[in-house]
Amino acid sequence: MASHPFRIVNVFTESAGRLTGNPLCVFESGADLGPEVMQNLARQFNLSETTFILPSTRAVARVRIFTPNYEMPFAGHPTLGTAHICRALKLGGDVLVLETQAGLIPVSAEGDRWTLTALKPTWRELGTSHAALAAALGLNESDVGRQPLWVKAGKEQLIVPLNSADAVQRANPVAERLGKIVSDEGHSMAYVFAFTGENSVLARFFFPQNGAFLEDPATGSATANFGGWCLATQRAQPVRLQISQGAMLKRPSTLFLEVNQDQIFVGGDVIEIGRGAINL
């Protein structure tokens, strides 16, 4: 049997809380693992994502990202968490580039706060009525704000402005309805948000798994897409927002979004909380 070391980190932690943020498993080397084994390991850990560090000729490392059910071309908290481990393994320093299936992602750190530069986003209209969208989210039509959009800054997701923090808290997806509103990859993922102040936002992210919709405690890819929504709706730049997510899961998380000169930056704090090895 071969031993495959991994580390557990929490990403987008709140106020340095070690058991806050979004958990991630990072395998220090995936060079000897095939995609089927990677998928099975992601299913074994059953976290929202598990990553595998691989050699790259274009960047500090190549990163493969798996949910328990499928591989993702890009995701935010796996990118930041993996960058943190790459630095710990001395593969890079405070400024590095990671290769993902979606492209090369620049990442930098100030202490343990990591920030990625998102890919240039694209966006398109929803193509579904506000009434149908509201029903899919378990909300009233009056709860849905202006210009819900499909946005893609690595992975296409539905970005839905709501008119109040109360509406964000009341959102309760109806699987059979939301499951019919799909991305360019055939996935139903919805990020709902409301401004709670000039520079503060409350957000939640829903994703499908095994026929139900689950909630993510902190979602970097959707935050990057939120930055794309800010560009699409011509929000005045620079945009600097502190986003709260995960409180309803009792995993409070803090994410930082900046949109400046049409570039999108997503940041948050990363804490390593454990290490181990899998013997295969």
Does the annotation count 49 as an active-site position? yes
**Cross-strand pairs, 203:** 193
Q: Which of 95, 92, 85 is nearest to 115 (CA)?
A: 95
Q: For the chain, give every residue range classified as CATH 3.10.310.10.
A: 3-115+268-279, 122-261
Model pLDDT, residue 222 = 97
Fold of the 3-115+268-279 domain: Diaminopimelate Epimerase; Chain A, domain 1 (3.10.310)
* Level-2 CATH architecture, domain 122-261: Roll (3.10)
Average pLDDT over residues 169-180: 95
Catalytic residue among 14, 28, 49, 156: 49
pLDDT at 208 over 90: no
- The 10s digit of each residue's pLDDT in 226-262 is 999 999 999 999 999 999 999 999 999 999 999 999 9
**Residue 179 in tokens:** 């499951």
- The 10s digit of each residue's pLDDT in 41-75 is 999 999 999 999 999 999 999 999 999 999 999 99
Helix (H, G, I), strand (E, B) or coil at 136: helix
Whole-structure pTM value: 0.95
**Residue 7 in tokens:** 């580390």
Average pLDDT over residues 212-224: 94
58 close to 84: Cβ distance less than 8 angstroms: no
227 close to 264: Cβ distance less than 8 angstroms: yes
Q: What are phi and psi of 114, to 5 degrees?
A: -105, 145
Share of the chain above pLDDT 70, in %: 100
